[in-house]
Amino acid sequence: MSHLPALEASLELAVTRSGDPQPAIYARLFALHPAMEAEFWRDGSGRIRGEMLARSFEMVLDLAAPHAPEGGQGIGGWGSAFLGTEAVTHDAYGIPRAVFADFLPIMAGVIRDTCGDGFTPAMAAAWDLVLDRAAATLAALPGSSMEARVIDVDDVLPPRDERGIFFPMR
Ligand code: HEM
């Protein structure tokens, strides 16, 4: 049995009820990890956050899809591979693995809460599968130091009005 239709239905319902879930998802991320908001200092337009979330939803859809021939519960496929590479990429951004691992549960929580009483057991099972596969993928990765690297932008960049030319904002 594929969990994908239930996962898709949860996204459709959430968007029908509340529109774009992006503001709620990032609000929840920054409420849980206030120091992380500054990590998006390059993202003047919001496009990086938009791309990050769009790719994450794409990944969620893949993680919900059957991969093993019998539709089994193993990890594998593009979604797992993408999650693994992004975990390593985010090491270089200075995002601790433990914070990185919170993002999918935050997305799941916002979709569940937005669906409210329309969130069915089948939708819950689909999201549980996604979260289980993601956790298994991250647990199987080689470790990182998990140390947060918090940057004070004003310590490392030229004065704010001279930055644009050297550090293009997207
Ligand atoms: C499932 C988890 C996550 C995935 C799949 C993911 C994916 C991505 C992707 C694809 C980008 C590149 C966007 C672009 O420039 O086109 C990105 C950028 C970024 N992500 Fe994530 N992300 C995740 C979790 C997080 C978390 C929890 C944080 C914590 C704050 C974070 C912080 C960042 C930052 C700061 C950037 C921008 C880096 C820069 O170019 O300046 N990410 N992410």
DSSP state string for 10-76: HHHHHHHHHS--HHHHHHHHHHH-GGGGGGGTT-TTSHHHHHHHHHHHHHHHHHHS--STT------
Please choose from 48, 52, 163 the residue to mutate so as to test ligand 1's pocket, defined by most ligand atoms within 8 A of CB. Answer: 52
pLDDT in tens, 53-92: 999 999 999 999 987 554 444 566 899 999 999 999 998 8
The confidence score (pLDDT) of residue 95 equals: 92
Q: Are 107 and 60 in contact (CB under 8 A)?
A: yes
Angle, CA 156 vertex, CA 152 and CA 160 arms, to 5°: 85
More confident position, 20 or 158:
20
Q: In this structure, which residue's CA is closest to atom 27 in ligand 1?
A: 100
pTM of the model: 0.85
Q: Which atom of ligand 1 is nearest to the CA of 37?
A: 30
